[in-house]
């Protein structure tokens, strides 16, 4: 708790720098990455991330310093060459894009590792720390470096804001953008430049190897929570900020823990949670919905059994024991025993001693299900010309889903029939 | 049977298109009058979509030129609209129907400008014209195929263009949508706009269009429906696939020949 307060009071300037740096980098790569994600260019983002390494190393060899401005320029150049290389290979050879991307990624990364090893063995005293580009070193985000990277992050957000409309259209429908006269090539150049810049600043925190996660995971997680692009950008930025903050905090309380990989872990964990828990699209939501549907079907089937038994014995309000219900229709015993009290609670059944009896509401509900079943059977035989002995199974499912509006249409279309295809009476209320 | 007109809306002059070095359209030469509802008709692989894409500059042409309203294509961009095939985009994109229709205003807005209130009004009005005003905030993946096609049409309308290219707007839509769309296209041409439609169905062609282009790798006919839509010409378009022509195409591709000597 003490360290929690210490961290979040931000009295230590180092903590302040590192945290602010992590948040800025995560937010800007999440926002730029949203468009990479929507354009389905996630793999290209990964290739770009790996391709900045040789540029960084070359810039260091040529300039002899770790001045971030030089490193950014170097990274920028090789990242662009890699993109052109992917384009060239895809256009000029039979090699498909995915192959071109993975070839480019490994060639550039291999070159980078080679240069890095050379630098490390050159005995240059100022080289120490250059290897942090591999996995990132957020703790080194201090002083002037932070100003440079913070500045770049702000520029990224500003330009995305400026081009929001154009980026959206191009991500959705490039051809249309071209036809209405948008300078598509130039706008794509801007977007790619932003991606490269986001990668260049982002690798400070997480390194080239993990950079793709910073671009792609926040928008992928955010997409689960909204159908609006604006909201998606905001959510992706917030998730990125949270991950950046968490990474900084974790490495603060446990100094042996690396910041960058923790940022990636946190954002990935959020993505998995979104996948499981998001409304509408999440797995849990879908599972709960399925379970609710199954329960509804079970409840309606029990009431239907009561109605059918009542129809046979000409007494809808007779009391029935569990055995009698099971005679009419097989239900799993446990589910039946659990659902009967639920139906009583809902007001559809009464308990009389050890037996059960329909209430008036329960009678109407059972009657409606039977009516829908028989109407649907009739519809299938009359309009789809399906044989009467083939319509029962279909009606068993459809009877639970027909809405009151469709019910009215069905009655009207069939002209309020009295008998179903098996000559059973269709019960109207 | 190729009928040329005076003061054409669109002039295609000796257009040849190659796709991966394979010639798919040979020497297309035609002119279209203003206010016509044009159907481009031909079998699968005839190059119907390629023709309109090439006219709009989406597919590079090997030779020839295109003039729109007697100007170059780039000078006329503001007056051209396009309804792509519905499957050409990812409908799971995070956008509402209104967002998509607003995209039709982007060309008029220019770079960096946000849609203004007037643009929203035009977009909503266009949604109303295609009968989709009740769905403006619906996420586009939750629309049916016909509704998605209507949204695309509304986007083109929002552009307030004079020449419209539509790639199979009737593919996979319900009967009521088809009726609504054709009704709308007729109203547009009555106001002097020109609509060019890539169409698949021979049955409805004579009912829908007043100008027909018959295409099968080369131009078979272009003219008013009465003169161009004849059995002999249809036979030539559909029955008489020129085996020799496609053989030469294949040969050009195989040997990586340039489509024109330079």
User: Given CB atoms, is B100 within the 8 Å cutoff of chain A?
Assistant: yes
Which one of A38, A169, A226 has the shortest CB-CB distance to B106? A169
Continuous H helices in A163-228? 164-172, 174-179, 184-223
Identify the pLDDT of residue A255: 77
What B44-49 contacts at long range (C-beta under 8 Å, 24+ apart), as own/partner pairs, is: B46/B215, B46/B216, B46/B217, B46/B237, B47/B17, B47/B215, B47/B216, B47/B217, B48/B198, B48/B215, B49/B85, B49/B167, B49/B168, B49/B198
Return the higher-pLDDT residue of A158 and B248. Answer: A158
Buried b (16+ CB within 10 A) or exposed e, A19-42: bbbbbbbbbbbbbbbbbbbbbebb
DSSP string, A253-317: HSTTS-HHHHHHHHHHHHHHHHHHH-TTTSHHHHHHHHHHHHHHHHHHHHHHHHHHHHHHHT-TT
Quote ipTM for the complex.
0.90
Judging contacts by C-beta atoms under 8 Å, the chain A residues touching residue B78 are 180-181
B163 forms beta bridges with B80, B194
Contacts of A180 in chain B (CB under 8 A): 77-78, 80-82, 104, 106-107, 159
Evaluate if residue B155 carries a pLDDT over 80: yes
Report the Cα A96 to chain-centroid distance in Å: 27
pLDDT of residue A75: 87
The overall average pLDDT reported for chain B is 89
Measure B82 CA to nearest chain A CA, in Å.
6
Inter-chain CB proximity B82 and A180 less than 8 Å: yes
Specify the CATH superfamily of domain B10-254. P-loop containing nucleotide triphosphate hydrolases (3.40.50.300)
Q: How is chain B split into domains, by residue range? A: 10-254
The tens place of each residue's pLDDT in chain A, 429 residues long, gives 677 777 777 777 778 888 888 888 899 999 999 999 999 988 988 999 899 899 988 998 888 877 778 888 898 899 999 999 998 998 888 889 899 999 999 999 999 999 988 888 877 666 666 777 777 777 767 677 778 878 888 899 999 999 999 999 999 999 999 999 899 999 999 998 898 888 887 877 788 888 889 999 999 999 999 999 999 999 999 999 999 999 888 888 887 888 888 889 999 999 999 999 988 888 899 999 999 999 999 999 999 999 999 988 888 898 888 888 898 889 998 999 999 999 999 999 999 888 999 999 999 999 999 999 999 999 999 888 999 889 898 899 899 998 888 899 889 988 899 888 888 889 988
B188-202 confidence digits (pLDDT tens): 999 999 999 999 888
Q: How confident is the model at residue B243 (pLDDT cuts 50, 70, 90)?
A: low
Q: Which helix (H) or strand (E) holds B43?
A: none
Q: Tens of pLDDT along B191-235?
A: 999 999 999 888 888 899 999 999 988 899 999 999 998 888 888
The residue-averaged pLDDT of B234-261 equals 73
Q: What is the pLDDT of residue A136?
A: 76
Domains and CATH numbers, chain A: 2-281 (1.10.3470.10), 284-429 (1.10.10.10)
In angstroms, the CA B84 to CA B126 distance is 17
Is the alpha carbon torsion for B205, B209, B211, B217 positive or negative?
negative
Dihedral sign of CA atoms A292, A295, A297, A299 in order = negative
* Cβ under 8 Å to A: B residues 53-82: 53, 56-58, 74, 77-78, 80-82
Q: pLDDT tens digits for B27-54?
A: 899 999 999 999 999 988 889 999 999 9
pLDDT computed for residue B259 by the predictor: 64
Q: b/e string for A126-158 if b means 16 or more Cβ within 10 A?
A: ebeebebbbbbbbbbbeeebbebbbebbeebbe
- B1-10 pLDDT per residue, tens: 888 888 899 9
Cβ separation B103–A229 shorter than 8 A: no
Measured between alpha carbons, how far apart are the two ends of chain B, in Å? Answer: 31
B80, B106, B155 ranked by CB distance to A165: nearest? B106
Residue B140 has a pLDDT of 94
**What local confidence, expressed as pLDDT, does residue A156 receive?**
92
């Amino acid at each position: 708790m003490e360290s929690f307060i210490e961290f979040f009071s931000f009295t230590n300037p180092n903590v302040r720098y590192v945290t602010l740096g992590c948040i800025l980098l995560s937010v800007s790569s999440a926002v730029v990455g949203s468009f990479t994600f929507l354009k389905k260019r996630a793999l290209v983002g990964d290739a770009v991330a790996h391709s900045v390494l040789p540029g960084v190393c070359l810039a260091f060899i040529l300039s002899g310093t770790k001045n971030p401005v030089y490193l950014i320029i170097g990274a920028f150049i090789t990242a662009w060459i890699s993109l052109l290389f992917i384009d060239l290979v895809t256009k000029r050879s039979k090699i498909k894009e995915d192959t071109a991307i993975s070839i480019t990624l490994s060639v550039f990364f291999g070159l980078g590792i080679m240069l890095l090893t050379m630098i490390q063995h050159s005995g240059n005293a100022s080289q120490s720390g250059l290897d942090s580009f591999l996995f990132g070193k957020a703790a080194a985000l201090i002083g002037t470096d932070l100003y440079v990277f913070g500045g770049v992050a702000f520029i990224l957000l500003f330009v995305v804001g400026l081009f929001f409309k154009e980026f959206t259209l191009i991500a959705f429908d490039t051809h249309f953008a071209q036809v209405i006269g948008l300078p598509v090539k130039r706008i794509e150049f801007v977007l790619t430049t932003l991606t490269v810049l986001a990668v260049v600043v982002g690798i400070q925190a997480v390194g080239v190897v993990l950079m793709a996660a910073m671009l792609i995971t926040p928008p992928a997680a955010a997409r689960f929570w909204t159908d609006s692009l604006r909201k998606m950008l905001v959510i992706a930025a917030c998730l990125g900020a949270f991950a950046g903050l968490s990474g900084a905090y974790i490495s603060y309380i446990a100094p042996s823990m690396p910041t960058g990989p923790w940022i990636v872990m946190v954002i990935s964990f959020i993505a998995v949670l979104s996948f499981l828990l998001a409304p509408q699209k999440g797995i849990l939501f879908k599972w709960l919905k399925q379970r609710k549907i199954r329960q509804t079907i079970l409840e309606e089937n029990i009431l239907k059994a009561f109605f059918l038994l009542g129809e046979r014995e000409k007494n809808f309000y007779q009391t029935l024991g569990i055995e009698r219900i099971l005679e009419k229709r097989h239900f799993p015993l446990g589910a039946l025993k659990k659902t009967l009290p639920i139906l009583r609670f809902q007001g559809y059944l009464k308990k009389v001693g050890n037996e059960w009896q329909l209430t008036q509401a329960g009678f109407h509900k059972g009657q409606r299900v039977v009516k829908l079943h028989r109407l649907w059977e009739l519809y299938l035989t009359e309009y789809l010309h399906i044989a009467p002995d083939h319509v029962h199974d279909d009606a068993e499912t459809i009877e639970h889903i027909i809405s009151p509006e469709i019910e009215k249409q069905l009655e009207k279309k069939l002209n309020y029939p009295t008998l179903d295809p098996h000559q059973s009476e269709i019960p109207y209320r | 049977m190729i009928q040329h007109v005076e003061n054409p809306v669109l002039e295609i002059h000796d257009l040849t298109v190659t796709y991966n070095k394979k010639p798919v359209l040979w020497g297309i030469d035609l002119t279209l009058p203003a206010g016509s509802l044009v159907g481009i008709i031909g079998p699968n692989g005839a190059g119907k979509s390629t023709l309109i894409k090439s006219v709009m500059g989406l597919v590079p042409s090997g030779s020839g030129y295109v003039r729109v309203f007697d100007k170059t294509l780039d000078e006329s961009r503001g007056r051209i609209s396009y309804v792509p095939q519905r499957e050409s985009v990812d409908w799971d994109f995070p956008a509402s129907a209104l967002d998509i229709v607003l995209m039709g205003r982007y060309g008029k807005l220019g770079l960096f400008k946000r849609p203004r209130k007037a643009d929203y009004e035009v977009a909503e009005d266009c949604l109303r014209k295609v009968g989709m005003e009740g769905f403006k905030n619906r996420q586009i993946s939750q629309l049916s195929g016909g509704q998605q096609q209507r949204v695309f049409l509304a986007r083109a309308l929002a552009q307030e263009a004079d020449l419209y290219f539509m790639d199979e707007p009737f593919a996979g839509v319900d009967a009521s949508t088809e009726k609504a769309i054709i009704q709308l296209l007729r109203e547009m041409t009555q106001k002097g706009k020109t609509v060019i439609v890539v169409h698949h169905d021979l049955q409805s062609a004579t009912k829908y269009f007043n100008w027909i282009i018959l295409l099968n790798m080369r131009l078979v006919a272009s003219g008013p429906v009465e003169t161009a839509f004849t059995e002999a010409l249809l036979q030539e378009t559909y029955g008489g696939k020129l085996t020799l022509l496609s053989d030469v195409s294949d040969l050009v591709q195989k040997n990586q020949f340039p489509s024109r000597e330079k």
